[in-house]
Amino acid sequence: MSSEVKVPVLGESVSEATIGQWLKQPGEAVVLDEPIASLETDKVAIDVMAPAAGVMGAHIAKEGDTVAVGALIATIEDSTAVAGAAPVAPRAEKAIPPASDTLPPKGEDAGDAALSPSVRRAVLEHGIDPSSVKGTGKDGRLTKEDIVHAAQAKQATPAPAATAAASPAPASVPAAPAGERREERVKMTRLRQTIAKRLKDAQNTAALLTTFNDVDMTEVIAARDRYKDLFVKKHGVKLGFMSFFAKASVLALKDIPAVNAQIQGDEIVYHDYIDLSVAVSAPNGLVVPVVRNVDQLSFADIEKAIAEYGKKAKDGTLTLDDMKGGTFTISNGGVFGGLMSTPIINPPQSAVLGLHRIEDRAVVRNGEIVIRPMMYIALSYDHRLIDGREAVTALKTIKEAIEDPTRLLIDL
């Protein structure tokens, strides 16, 4: 008797996905609710869980195939019914725990726990046995950083000296001829294809324009330095600059509603709420999870939400619901050292705020040249909906709120 493996429901308006990777090969033992395949949708990677225990049967769909929701992609055979096969024995290292207890207790080996897509990619890339690595994530779960650190430690460990009894070394692979030019072709992931299409659609559809300003970060840096220890102690999360810019953006979007609006057909949709999309770098590309009702959240709430999304992005565990919606986006290229950029809007949104690196620059204050920590900020917007005056005013409001954070408290 066999069990069918079908493409699960992927979320609202998502009807198909791509087989990213088969995690179980035909003939391998399978445990109920164990990840057996990874699907790539337009936004996230989703694991297909085993509907039954047994032995992996045939792969009906290959890696790279596009499959629809509900499509049959594989079978799982009853281990006792496989011809000539004895009951499947558990893995030699450790039996995989049942679905009701997939996370190992803290401090225990996390090698057999269900691995996130990003961790599995790191395991394959670096050739690390996950059962030999101690997880530092929540409840002992392995993270991508754990695998990378294990790989670095492995490379740093000197190889054991050869002994007289050692077998002869295999013939070395000849080095590539000097000056040889090589190319590698890698199929774009579904996520990268979607990013490319959406960004190009934004350029083709919207009348994009960008306005710039610079911000003196002196007061925000001072406030952060003054309260960061107390903030962590009380809220359990670091006080970053993003929450200041999120709050400043709220002021600007309330004053200039068009910047928080969208064009739908021949209508303009104005929102009385602010759902903030935060651009986050993930293993497969840029993703934009949404902090909802950010206008009603505290600094701590915003920082906690952003920190959680950042961790989920690295672990490859973001869901479609995490990225659905959004009325305005903040993208921080400064974390990568970017000095200035013209960010592209995230359709159907009408504007995006770009942040950049902070650097000391000479500026004039009260007739004197002084050194201040300055940041360039950019607002890209759809000129079909937002006039230049509105865009410049919104960016100026953000600048003034950051340079005088008291404005964030008194809604000015």
Angstrom CA distances, 15 to 42, 51, 67, 75, stand at 10, 21, 9, 21
Q: Helix or strand or coil: residue 121?
A: helix
The sign one gets for the Cα dihedral 298, 342, 322, 349 is: positive
Give the DSSP letter of residue 105: P
Name the strand (E) or helix (H) holding 293. Answer: none
Phi, psi dihedrals of residue 2, rounded to the nearest 5°: -120, 155
**DSSP class per residue in 246-288:** HHHHHHHHHH-GGGG-EEETTEEE--SS--EEE-EEETTEEE-
Answer whether 320's CB lies under 8 Å from 360's CB: no
Give me the catalytic one of 149, 235, 271, 383: 383
Torsion of CA 35, 37, 38, 42, to 10 degrees: -120
Pairwise CA distance, residues 125 & 5, whole Å: 27
Does the active-site annotation cover 139?
no
Q: Is the dihedral of CA 34, 12, 302, 400 positive or negative?
A: positive
* Contact partners, residue 33, CB within 8 Å, separation at least 6: 49, 50, 98, 99, 102
Distance, in Å, from the CA atom of 358 to the CA atom of 56, rounded to the nearest integer, reads 53
Quick check: helix, strand or coil at residue 37?
strand
Structure letter (DSSP) for residue 70:
T
Residue 187: phi and psi, rounded to 5, are -65, 135
Reduced to 3 states (helix: H, G, I; strand: E, B; else coil), residue 82 is coil
275 catalytic residue (yes or no): no
Q: Which of 201, 387, 404, 411 is catalytic?
A: 387
Q: Which positions ≥6 away from 251 have C-beta within 8 Å?
A: 397, 398, 401, 407, 408, 411, 412
Which residues have a catalytic role annotated? 383, 387
